[in-house]
Chain A
Amino acid sequence: MKTNELHPPQWANRVLRWLHPEDTLEEVEGDLEELYAYWYERAGKGQATWRYLLNVASVLPPFVRRRERKQAYHNPFLIQPSMLRNYFTIAFRTLAHNKVYSSINVIGLSIGLAAAMLIMLYTKDEVSFDRFHANNPHIYRITSKQFTPAGAFQSYNTHTGYLQGPKFAAGVPEIKMSVRYQSDRSDIKVGTEVKSFESFHADSSFFALFSFPLVSGNPATALREPKSVVLSEEMAEKQFGTTNALGKILLVRNSNGDSKEFEPYTVTGIAKKCPQNSSIKFDFLFPYVVSKEDMANEGNWFNFFQNTFVVLEPNANLKKVEATMNRIFEKDAKQAMEEEVKRFGPQSKMKYMLQPFTDMHLNKDMPAQNGLVDGSNPMFSYILSGIALFILLIACINFVNLTVARSLKRAKEIGVRKVVGGGRAQLMMQFLGESFILCFLAFGFALLLVQMVLPTFNELSNKALAFSYLFDAKLIAGYFALFAATGLLAGFYPALVLSNYNPVQTLYSRFNLSGKNYLQKGLVVLQFALASFLIIATLTIYSQFNYLTNKDLGYNDKGIVMVNKSGLSRNEAKVFKDELLKNQNIRDVAPKNGGNWYTVAKVNGQTEINFAYETVDATYFPLLQIPIIKGRNFSAEFNSDSTSSILVNETFVKKAGWTNPLGQVVDFWYNEGEKYKVVGVVKDFHFESLNAKISPQLFTMKPGNQYGKVFIKIKEGSETASLSHLAKTYKKLFPTNPYEYKFMDEENEKRYESEAKWKQIMLFGAILTIFISCIGLFGLATLSAERRTKEIGIRKVLGASVASITTLLSADFLKLVSLSFVFAFPVAYYAIKEWLENYPYRIDISVWTFVIAAALSILIAFFTVSFQSIKAALGNPVKSLKAE
């Protein structure tokens, strides 16, 4: 028992063993035990135990000093030329030896890298939008915020009128100059032919404020004379056949104006094509002409129809400038404001602001509009980047999975390297190097791929990106970063695992890789979760798109041709109709006001109601087959219809709160005495796109309102005959108007262009992710079948059928794919629910979407895996068992 008593406390000993450095543990443990016995004899158990604990603590970290490790052998510098050469040789040999594996990795990674490159290109373009102007970042757009009379925020307004630019520029010293930029349409006459083009008006300081270089002409004076025009190179080429068109004459008429005469304009400048990343893109630029009366009329403070830009002094204080602007506005527009209040009642208040020019492109509240083009939604960038990341991530996962799974084959090599003195750092470097070589190959292919798919990508993303854009210092740096990140991401983990192998185990062939391998399984699950997420997203977008394009609009848009004729009078309309109806292919003709009009009126005495204001005639509803559910259509029998009757839609009735709409009065109180009686109610129809809710609509025949377009219903199958008759008639009656026809159903489809693009992008994304996931799975299945050749041989000898072996080999992977749904479905459900919220008219999320997605993933995965499984199962067991 004496020896037992001499034992120090066991727990302290355990702590010692756990924490004390390994190489001195034995001697220290022995010494301390001896000392314990010594203290025990001299001072008894209590003292001994106490001193023992104290001394144990003194040899624990951080107090204890560690022995320096002795270098057992010479450690050469890591990078030796001959060793490097060996690494390269081995790397290329392994790659060449495993063609399936190498090509899977290279294909996957190059697709992933190409996707990432395209997105970087896209993002760079988005971010660089409008930044090329020399005056950047001091260019601003005048915008305003509207507040209700009570002071609550109402809306943003990006529009301005005649006065804001000049008045603010005159009154605020920090504003260097201002440019009003108004979009318009112009008819151009060449010979007898008239064509209509989008054109712009701008103040003469346009070329001083913006940096659009002129090929010829003087930028300072180009827009000075009222009858001058600046053309783009392209347009000059089109009009005159040469870009050397300075001083030539163009016959122009404003498409929206009242004049029928064409006037000669002199070409005073030829501008270089506007850059792709510019919100301002013009082909025709006319001087800004505004009458003295308009400039003197204070009421024009409340007339908004264009964009106005200013450039500030570099050190200007934005807050101060805005404050001064608002002071000027309140002083100058005081009288006009009072008049407005008198006429319309309490008005919404407004506050002017300055929006940085470069901010417009991606701004949702204050977008680039009204003649400014290519406004974009930042959401688009996010989604695209997300998809690219998905693809790259999946490709990296393939790399990690395949490399780790393949490592069994290289275990011997690693063992030998270690035995002859290869350190872990060296091995890691070797494997990282290999992954970089692969990555480099993939990088080359990716560049080729980018060049190949760039046209398609441009179409999808609504851009005109060129391959030459790639040669940009920042982008190149970005690509190198991408390359390095991919190489590291893909190579780091395998390098870590491979370099960790124990040479003794690997060389004795007692090496077992068929462990749980959670990481590989987890990565496969992640891959397929991403893929099935994208499948679900694609399916949803497809069905929503189909819903939008196939939903009953409430009217029949088949076989209806639209032509525009601005300022179509009642008489012209009648002559046009009579002429058209002479051809029996033309069923009916209905004129309508051009563009979309919105206005306000009072119902029930006081309630103001906003609505779409449509000027039509009695043929409009039958022609579009819009049912009238209460009351009657306009009719020739009632003479007073044009001056006192209106029709409204159901939403209008609901908004007005009428139970009996017929006979109700709508009061246009601001036009003295203009009151109308409701004679009929039409069924709601989608006169706007399905992305908008149906709003109240009012139909009138008021003679003072001009028509602007004509709907023509033609007989089915008679398109050619009808259209030629239409063109002939139009040109005969309105020789000075540009003739252009559109089919209504085609126009309606065009409303969903952005959805169509989303649809395509998602489809591409889904296909690519599925493809890369599948080649990865294919690789894994191949390796697993190879590893199990012996097992399969034995099973076959013992009588297993091909089917049972195929199932055995495929089941593992299919289980993983099924598991991925658990993660993908909730996320996908949430995402598509959020997306569908954007649409007032949308599909219900159906279980079938998920079922189909699941079935699709499993099916695709099964085909991928079973290819290898069946091959393995069909193999001759004699061969597999004999081979050693």
Chain B
Amino acid sequence: MRRTYLGEFEEVVLLMVAILDGEAYGVTVSQALEEHTGRVVTFGTVHNTLIRLEEKGFVGSELGGATNERGGRRKRLFHVTALGNRALQEIQQLRQQLWQLLPPTKLQLNSL
């Protein structure tokens, strides 16, 4: 499989989209990021990352229906695609394997 490089921030945003499960759009992703990781980033960064993720095929998007909130403006809702899902799982797996390889003493020493 052709691996697409996934940056660290991209990975986090992708995870957020997965966590938010259908409710992910610019605002919620930013808020979740702030809430869960404590990182305060500009909206533009999130916006650009979401577009990039979509270009790479990890997320899909569609415009939601118009509501009375936010002056009738529609939201762009993101969801993780199958490809995105697999990418997340692969990363997870890879990490797992790498953790297995780590000598336990080393870890303890470091934690000291």
Tell me the A residues contacting B by CB distance below 8 Å. 24, 26-35, 38, 54-55, 57-59, 63-68
Given contacts A58-B42, A65-B47, A31 and B26 within 8 Å (CB-CB): yes
Contact partners of A66 in chain B: CB under 8 A: 51
Does A27 contact B48, Cβ atoms closer than 8 Å? Answer: no
List 15 extra interface pairs beyond A30-B73, A58-B42, CB under 8 A. A24-B51, A26-B63, A30-B75, A31-B26, A31-B27, A32-B43, A34-B27, A34-B69, A34-B70, A35-B30, A54-B42, A58-B47, A59-B47, A64-B47, A65-B51
Given contacts A58-B42, A68-B55, A31 and B74 within 8 Å (CB-CB): no
Which chain B residues in 10-43 approach chain A with CB under 8 Å? Answer: 25-27, 30-31, 42-43
Which residue of B is nearest A27, CB measured?
B76
A832→B75 CA distance, assembly (Å): 72
B52 within 8 A of A: yes
B71 within 8 A of A: yes
B89 within 8 A of A: no
Contact partners of B52 in chain A: CB under 8 A: 65
Q: Which one of B42, B47, B70, B74 contacts A33 once the chains associate, using CB atoms below 8 Å?
A: B70
Contact partners of A29 in chain B: CB under 8 A: 73
Contact partners of A64 in chain B: CB under 8 A: 44, 47-48
A28→B51 CA distance, assembly (Å): 12
Does A26 contact B74, Cβ atoms closer than 8 Å? Answer: yes
Does B27 contact A35, Cβ atoms closer than 8 Å? Answer: yes
A64→B27 CA distance, assembly (Å): 16
Interface 0/1 of B45-89, CB less than 8 Å to A: 101100110110000000100000111011110000000000000
A24→B51 CA distance, assembly (Å): 10
Contact partners of B48 in chain A: CB under 8 A: 63-65
Contact partners of A34 in chain B: CB under 8 A: 27, 69-70
A370→B14 CA distance, assembly (Å): 92
Q: Which one of B27, B45, B55 contacts A58 once the chains associate, using CB atoms below 8 Å?
A: B45
Does A58 contact B69, Cβ atoms closer than 8 Å? Answer: no
Does B25 contact A27, Cβ atoms closer than 8 Å? Answer: yes
Contact partners of B70 in chain A: CB under 8 A: 30-31, 33-34
Q: Can you list 7 A-B contacts with CB-CB less than 8 angstroms, sorted by A residue number?
A: A27-B25, A30-B73, A34-B70, A55-B44, A58-B45, A59-B43, A65-B51
Q: Which one of A38, A57, A65, A67 contacts B27 once the chains associate, using CB atoms below 8 Å?
A: A38
A54→B74 CA distance, assembly (Å): 22
Number of A-B contacts (CB under 8 A): 68
Contact partners of A59 in chain B: CB under 8 A: 43-44, 47
A54→B43 CA distance, assembly (Å): 9
A38→B40 CA distance, assembly (Å): 14
Contact partners of A30 in chain B: CB under 8 A: 70-71, 73-75
Does A27 contact B43, Cβ atoms closer than 8 Å? Answer: no
Chain A nearest CB, measured from B44 CB (Å): 3
Does B31 contact A38, Cβ atoms closer than 8 Å? Answer: yes
Q: Which one of B43, B51, B54, B69 contacts A35 once the chains associate, using CB atoms below 8 Å?
A: B43
Chain B nearest CB, measured from A48 CB (Å): 13
A27→B25 CA distance, assembly (Å): 9
Chain B nearest CB, measured from A527 CB (Å): 52
Which residue of A is nearest B50, CB measured?
A65
Q: Which one of B30, B45, B74 contacts A27 once the chains associate, using CB atoms below 8 Å?
A: B74
Given contacts A26-B73, A27-B73, A30-B70, A63 and B27 within 8 Å (CB-CB): no
Contact partners of B45 in chain A: CB under 8 A: 58
A29→B44 CA distance, assembly (Å): 12
Chain B nearest CB, measured from A149 CB (Å): 83
Which residue of B is nearest A7, CB measured?
B71
Contact partners of B25 in chain A: CB under 8 A: 27, 31
Contact partners of B43 in chain A: CB under 8 A: 28, 31-32, 35, 55, 58-59
Which residue of A is nearest B44, CB measured?
A58
A35→B44 CA distance, assembly (Å): 12
Chain B nearest CB, measured from A867 CB (Å): 61
Does B47 contact A28, Cβ atoms closer than 8 Å? Answer: yes
A379→B48 CA distance, assembly (Å): 63
Q: Which one of B30, B51, B74 contacts A67 once the chains associate, using CB atoms below 8 Å?
A: B51
Chain B nearest CB, measured from A26 CB (Å): 5
Chain B nearest CB, measured from A60 CB (Å): 8
Which residue of A is nearest B42, CB measured?
A58
Does A31 contact B31, Cβ atoms closer than 8 Å? Answer: no
Which residue of A is nearest B43, CB measured?
A55
A28→B47 CA distance, assembly (Å): 8
Contact partners of B26 in chain A: CB under 8 A: 27-28, 31, 35
Which residue of B is nearest A37, CB measured?
B70
Which residue of B is nearest A67, CB measured?
B51
Contact partners of A68 in chain B: CB under 8 A: 55
Contact partners of B44 in chain A: CB under 8 A: 55, 57-59, 63-64
Contact partners of B54 in chain A: CB under 8 A: 67
A260→B51 CA distance, assembly (Å): 106
Chain A nearest CB, measured from B48 CB (Å): 4
Contact partners of A26 in chain B: CB under 8 A: 63, 73-74
Does B75 contact A27, Cβ atoms closer than 8 Å? Answer: yes
Chain A nearest CB, measured from B103 CB (Å): 43
Chain A nearest CB, measured from B67 CB (Å): 9
Does A33 contact B71, Cβ atoms closer than 8 Å? Answer: yes
A628→B89 CA distance, assembly (Å): 122
Contact partners of B55 in chain A: CB under 8 A: 68
A68→B55 CA distance, assembly (Å): 8
A628→B27 CA distance, assembly (Å): 110
Contact partners of A28 in chain B: CB under 8 A: 26, 43, 47
A57→B25 CA distance, assembly (Å): 19
A54→B45 CA distance, assembly (Å): 12
Chain B nearest CB, measured from A272 CB (Å): 75
